[in-house]
Chain A
Amino acid sequence: MSDYAINTANKKKQKQKFTINRRQYTFGVIGLSILILLSVLIASYALPDSNIATNLNAKNLEPSFDNIFGTDWLGRDMFTRTIKGLRLSVAVGALAATISVIIATILGMIASINDKCDLAVSWFIDLFLGMPHIVFLILISFALGGGVKGVVVGVAVTHWPTLTRIVRAEILQIKTSDYVKISRHMGKTSWYVATKHILPHIVPQLLIGYLLLFPHAILHEAAITFLGFGLSPHKPAIGIILSESMMYLSTGMWWLAFFPGLALIIVVKLFDVIGENLKMLYDPSSAHE
């Protein structure tokens, strides 16, 4: 072979050594995201509570090695507040999202029973979709007296419609597919069909929907706390920190508003990334959007 041919062949081999395919890349991204989120979770337990006790001698410190995000007006370490706040927000988001998913599954299944049920459920969906989320959240939070309960219920109750739609569509699709028809003809009960055919198929959808619900749930929790409903101002929660941001920005301590906000955005985005990538794994055609 000519030198030229040998060179290009070598180059090709070298290139091949370092390429990874799309699938591996996706797994990598998901793994990395999960890793980051886990470390946030671990950190939130590892960081001592004493960091967020009032410490009037350490007020308003700029970011430093000791206090990566600086301290606030009561001397509390902002980094610790942020991390613990993230955990709280994620927990609230998780709880709300779980309830939402359960509601969506149940309602999605009901919708697929027959046309009447479908109409009823669709009507329900429209009812809840019709309200701007924040308004509903305010209303529910007010009705339940605020606090964590109000926020969790509020967020759960406003987020199930979209997921229900997807679940309903999926179930309908499965039910009308050939293999299910055959299964029924073979005499299998509805329960069998439900558990053996439908459930396994919608579980991935549910998981993905759950993860994609997270960003919304967390952001809505932060928003409603920011407005003054929801969690108490002395608890570490991202929404609380952000509601204090006006004061921080006014007094020139922009880092106290910027970094927590950034942390929130990153965490939210990570959930989004995990969800989207899982969706791509499950349904590769969506990768081309």
Chain B
Amino acid sequence: MNNNSVLTFIIKKVIRFTSLLFALCALSFVLISNSPIDPVKAYIGADMMNVGPEQRAKIEQYWGLDKPAHEQFLSWASAVARGDLGDSKIYRRPVIEIISERFAASLLLMGTAWTISGILGFILGIVSAVKKGSWIDKVIKWYCFVLASTPTFWLGLLLLIVFVVWLGILPIGLAVPAGVLKTDVTLADKLMHFILPALTLSILGVANMAMHTRTKLIEVLNSDYVLFAKARGESDWEIVKNHGIRNIALPAITLQFAYFGELFGGSILAEKIFSYPGLGSAITEAGLRADVPLLLGIVLFSAIFVFSGNLIADILYKVVDPRMRGISAS
């Protein structure tokens, strides 16, 4: 492998990343400014009367409302670059604070879903490919087929009813148990509260991963060197272990990283159903209640999140497998 070319590749990708991010900021800003909602009013909200003239001036300065459009964008963008995302209208606190708080919760949720869907999907995909045509394969295929078109929110609702109301084994929502002081909340408590949202999120990912893995593994299993291995007397599982996994691990991991986007979108729905206070429910609130700073802040953040995922996927693909040069994975 030529280290130089890998480095150039990475640098090129990072540049692309930044340019995309910038474009996204611009796009979002344009969209928001063109919305029928007056940004100052949206920013201040019902407190129109509460806010004194100095406060109002400060807000106008932040948004640069008295200047032409491109200057507005620049003033906002430079504020953002400095890390100042403004204050959320709904929560009365800096947007950065809210995002970091909420992201921690969401991270736990998405991370678990990501891991479970990755591992479980991978395993199911392998089993399905190896047992191609058998009833296990049919079951798994059918399961994925159905799941891929089940709306996340419907699934979440079903889980809520089954596990919370009928069986009563899991708590209804939120992230921490009700009425317990912060210091008394245990990790186990936190876990109990996010099992259902995590499960809801994972289920869809599993379907994707399983199908993808299955396809790739079948390809591998149909190749010549596998035929040779069979002729040598290797058993099915040995073949998978020695030849299969190596070849499908990379596409699988790449798929997982590219999955960040879907994950984030799914968490928005899951969090609504389970009243889970993560980033997803924050952006829903922000959108519904016209909290412009928070909305923009989270949009940016999710963009960074997803772009990073794609970036990592691309780099992995290129760096780890030199044969893949020239084909982008995202």
Which residues of chain A have a CB within 8 Å of any CB of chain B?
123, 126-127, 129-135, 138-145, 215, 219, 222-223, 226-229, 242, 245-246, 249-250, 254, 257, 261, 264-265, 268-269, 272, 289
Q: A131 to B36, alpha carbons, bound, how many Å?
A: 23
Q: Assuming A133-B261, A142-B295, A228-B284, is B302 touching A223 (CB within 8 A)?
A: no
Given contacts A139-B32, A257-B157, A265-B149, 5 further A-B contacts (CB under 8 A): A131-B299, A142-B35, A144-B35, A145-B36, A229-B287
5 residue pairs, one from A and one from B, having the closest CB atoms: A134-B265, A132-B265, A143-B31, A132-B264, A143-B35
B157 touches A134 (CB 8 A): no
Determine whether the beta carbon of A135 is less than 8 Å from that of B265. yes
Residue of B at shortest CB range from A271? B149
Give the shortest distance, in Å, between A254 (CB) and chain B (any CB).
7
**B153 — nearest CB in chain A belongs to which residue?**
A226
Chain A residues near B268 (CB-CB < 8 A): 132, 134-135, 138, 227
Number of chain B residues whose Cβ lies closer than 8 Å to a Cβ of chain A: 49
Q: For B152, what are the chain A residues with a Cβ–Cβ distance below 8 Å?
A: 223
Specify which chain B residues have a CB less than 8 angstroms from the CB of A245 in the assembled complex. 154, 157
Across the interface, A140 reaches (CB within 8 A) one of B31, B37, B161, B310, namely B31
Contact A127 B23 (CB under 8 A): yes
29 contacts between A and B (CB under 8 A): A123-B19, A126-B16, A127-B20, A127-B27, A129-B261, A130-B303, A131-B302, A131-B303, A133-B265, A134-B268, A134-B269, A135-B268, A138-B284, A138-B287, A139-B287, A142-B37, A142-B290, A143-B32, A143-B35, A223-B151, A226-B153, A226-B269, A227-B284, A242-B154, A245-B157, A261-B151, A264-B151, A264-B154, A289-B215
Closest to B285 in A: A228
B88 CB to closest chain A CB (Å) equals 15
Bitwise interface map of B from 25 to 58 toward A, beta carbon under 8 Å scored 1, else 0: 0011001101111000000000000000000000
Partner of A249 from B19, B161, B306, B310 at Cβ < 8 Å? B161
* Contacting pair A227 B272 (CB below 8 A): yes
B262 at the interface (CB under 8 A from A): yes
Contacts of B28 in A (CB 8 A): 139
Complexed CA–CA distance, A222 and B149 (Å)? 12
Q: Select from chain A the residue with minimum beta-carbon distance to B154.
A: A261
B95 interfacial contact with A, CB 8 Å: no
Query: Which of A127, A145, A228, A245 is most buried by chain B, counting CB atoms within 10 A of its CB?
Result: A127
Given the known interface contacts A126-B20, A229-B288, the answer about A132 and B306 at a Cβ–Cβ threshold of 8 Å is yes
Minimal beta-carbon separation of B212 from chain A (angstroms): 11
Picked from B149, B263, B287, the residue with its CB within 8 Å of the CB of A141 is B287
Establish whether residues B149 and A215, one from each chain, have CB atoms under 8 Å apart when the complex forms: yes
Complex alpha-carbon distance, A245 and B157, angstroms = 8
User: Is the CB–CB distance between A129 and B330 below 8 Å?
Assistant: yes
A250–B173 CA distance with the chains assembled, in angstroms:
14
